[in-house]
Amino acid sequence: MDAIRQKIRDVPDFPKKGIVFKDITPAIADAGVFKLIIDGLAAPWRGKRVDKIVGIESRGFIFGAPLAYALGTGFSIVRKPGKLPFKTHSESYALEYGTDSLEVHIDAVAPGEHALVVDDLLATGGTAGAVARLVERQGGIVIGFSFVVELAFLGGAIKLGADKVQALVRY
């Protein structure tokens, strides 16, 4: 995973002072590294029951859609409020630098479906935890969380259940 780590750049003071943003855009711009990412995210889930990939706006869409394709599953999206056209469930959560809300269509995950939550980065676990609550509200079963990057020092994996968290690169 060194090839992935080498393509992730640090952007200091973004989105606000004191935060070092992990920018994955150089990694996805490199076809070989992007393939490594998708293959790496897919590997632990091959041969397991995954009915739905749930991608978190917006960088989770970048990884979630090709991961769903690779695993032969459906793909559902979670977006910021007011962006989805049908009836939604909403969940508010705390970020490492504020608060926010997310929405999902009420039929995005069917009762009993096994869902894998996907995003680019795990920090405190607030966003992914909110998505897990949305999936569970619909009767879905969250089988795990997959990320390209984990900021381990922020404890998000512990909050989500470390045995359910996959990250390709940890800082």
Task: Report pLDDT for 97.
Answer: 64
118 sits in the region (left: phi over 0; alpha: psi -120 to 50; else beta) called beta
pLDDT recorded at residue 96 = 59
83 part of a folded domain? yes
Reported as type and span, the H/E element at residue 31 is helix 31-42
- Inside any domain, residue 23: no
Asked if residues 77 and 85 have their Cβ atoms less than 8 Å apart, the reply is no
CATH code (residue 153): 3.40.50.2020
Q: Is residue 11 part of a domain?
A: no
For residue 68, is pLDDT > 80?
Answer: yes
Q: Is residue 15 part of a domain?
A: no
Catalytic residue ranges: 59, 96
Mean of per-residue pLDDT scores for the chain: 96
Judged against a pLDDT cut of 90, whether residue 14 lies above it is answered with yes
Segment 154-164, tens digit of pLDDT: 999 999 999 99
pLDDT for res 99: 85
* Cα–Cα distance, 93 to 129 (Å, whole number): 8
4 belongs to a structural domain: no
Average pLDDT over residues 121-148: 97
Per residue in 44-67, pLDDT tens?
A: 999 999 999 999 999 999 999 999
Q: What is the mean pLDDT of residues 86-97?
A: 86
Strands 98-105 and 20-23: unpaired
- Residue 58's domain spans which residues? 48-170
**How many domains would you assign to the chain?**
1
The reported pTM is 0.95
Is 82 exposed, middle or buried (CB count within 10 Å of its CB: 0-12, 13-18, 19+)?
Answer: exposed
Q: Is residue 7 part of a domain?
A: no
- For the record, the structure tokens of 90 come out as 């909403």
pLDDT category of residue 15 using cuts at 50, 70 and 90 = confident
